[in-house]
Amino acid sequence: MDRVAPATPLQQVRAAVKANLLPGMVLWAGLVALTLAYAWSPAVQSGLSQWGAVKQAWGYPFSFATYALFAVLVPELLGIALLRQPLRRTLWADMAYATLVFGSIGITVDLFYALQVQLFGEGNDGLTIAKKMLVDQFVYSPMTNFIVIAMFAWREDGFRASAWQRIFSADFLSSRYLPLLVALWCVWIPGVVAIYLMPTALQFPVASLILSFWILIFKFIRKA
């Protein structure tokens, strides 16, 4: 029997973009709805403002807990309740590890947004948003997404030290990391524009919502 040739990095990138197109379109529609709701609804403005005030009061522990909640707990519970995902034996261990990873990323996101303010100010004009988007998606995002995928790949390999040689290999970077990064760019560039349209205090709450929506949408699309 003839062997099927492995997909090239370009083919994998194209496949990743195609797979993320529908989730991306759903997310973009949600972003438009969220932006319009914030602009027109005093209730939405008040709710996000209160969330932002709590974050300012509790600081980085709140950032950790928020990202853990919206990236791990909410999607997992809704996946079980709505998609009837089976209760796998490793569920609690998987959630605990994901909580550590995404909670830590939440702290870096909070720090990064503060750095963006220091670099570019708090304006929401087109030039300021463009600068923040470019630094976000082409400096910060490549680093943090590599950390996330590397941490889960390390866990897949049983936390063996030898796993890092594979993670930093050209094959891993081209087959696992690059397709993910390109797909995320296609979806998240509009997302970060919506985030930076918001006042500084509301950017982290909006980012948390978008992250949760993205994970939920991807779960639903894969289930369909």
How confident is the model at residue 87, as a pLDDT?
73
> Dmax over Cα atoms in the chain, in whole Å?
65
How confident is the model at residue 224, as a pLDDT?
46
Burial label, 211 (beta-carbon count in 10 A; 0-12, 13-18, 19+):
buried
Could you tell me the pTM of the whole model?
0.82
Amino acid at position 186, single letter: C
How confident is the model at residue 20, as a pLDDT?
63
Work out whether the CA dihedral 12, 17, 18, 24 comes out positive or negative. Answer: positive
Work out whether the CA dihedral 151, 156, 162, 163 comes out positive or negative. Answer: negative
The domain limits of the chain are 9-36+49-223
User: What are the C-alpha distances in Å from 213 to residues 5, 26, 42, 75, 99?
Assistant: 36, 9, 22, 8, 17
Q: Which of 142, 149, 194, 186 is nearest to 23 (CA)?
A: 186
> In the chain, helix, strand, coil percent, each to 5?
85, 0, 15
**Through-space distance between the first and last CA atoms of the chain, rounded to whole angstroms:** 32
Per-residue pLDDT of the chain (224 residues; tens, 9 = 90+): 445 556 665 666 666 666 666 666 777 777 778 778 887 888 888 887 888 788 888 889 999 999 999 888 888 877 776 666 677 788 889 899 999 999 999 999 999 999 999 999 998 899 999 999 999 999 999 999 899 989 999 999 999 999 999 999 998 988 888 888 887 787 788 888 888 988 888 888 888 888 887 777 666 655 54
Burial label, 88 (beta-carbon count in 10 A; 0-12, 13-18, 19+):
exposed
Show Cβ contacts of residue 198 under 8 Å, excluding neighbours closer than 6 positions: 38, 48, 124, 206
How confident is the model at residue 179, as a pLDDT?
81
How confident is the model at residue 157, as a pLDDT?
92
